[in-house]
């Protein structure tokens, strides 16, 4: 059942991603400033989660401070425009490949 739910979630994500690809927005995942960072798992010493951050400092919390996101959500990070955006190449193919290879949930990794 859990696998079936995951497949449905992935299909829904693929549909919304295709809608998004057609919208012409900027994907942060395709920007040179979008950085993958390991974050230690406090409850599991020796393991870490993957997070993404904008090293141009564009991702902010409402009350200040830097906002970071879970890696598996990186293809959802998009904006209409950004004065610091630096494309790393072909958006559509890159995002499609990334979407197909991302984990479907927040996963723990061993060091």
**Residues at the interface with ligand SF4 (CB under 6 A):** 26, 28, 31, 33-34, 54, 56, 58, 82, 84-85
Q: CB 18 → ligand SF4: shortest distance, Å?
A: 21
Of 31 and 50, nearer to ligand SF4 (C-beta) is 31
Give which of 76, 65, 99, 62 is closest to 27, Cα–Cα.
Answer: 76
Q: CB 111 → ligand SF4: shortest distance, Å?
A: 26
Q: CB 55 → ligand SF4: shortest distance, Å?
A: 8
Residue 54: burial class (beta carbons within 10 Å; 0-12, 13-18, 19+): buried
Euclidean distance between CA atoms 33 and 53, whole angstroms: 8
Q: ∠ CA 58-97-82 to the nearest 5 degrees?
A: 20
Of 31 and 95, nearer to ligand SF4 (C-beta) is 31
Of 49 and 74, nearer to ligand SF4 (C-beta) is 74
């Amino acid at each position: 059942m859990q696998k079936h739910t995951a497949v449905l979630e992935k299909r829904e994500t693929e549909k919304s991603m295709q809608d998004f690809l057609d919208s012409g927005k900027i994907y942060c995942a395709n920007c040179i400033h979008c950085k993958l960072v390991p974050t230690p798992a406090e409850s599991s010493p020796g393991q870490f989660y993957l997070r993404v951050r904008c090293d141009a400092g564009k991702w902010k919390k409402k009350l200040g401070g830097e906002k970071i996101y879970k890696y598996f959500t990186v293809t959802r990070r998009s904006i209409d425009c950004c004065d610091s955006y630096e494309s790393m190449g072909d958006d559509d193919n890159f995002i499609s490949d990334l979407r197909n290879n991302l984990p479907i949930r927040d996963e723990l990794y061993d060091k």
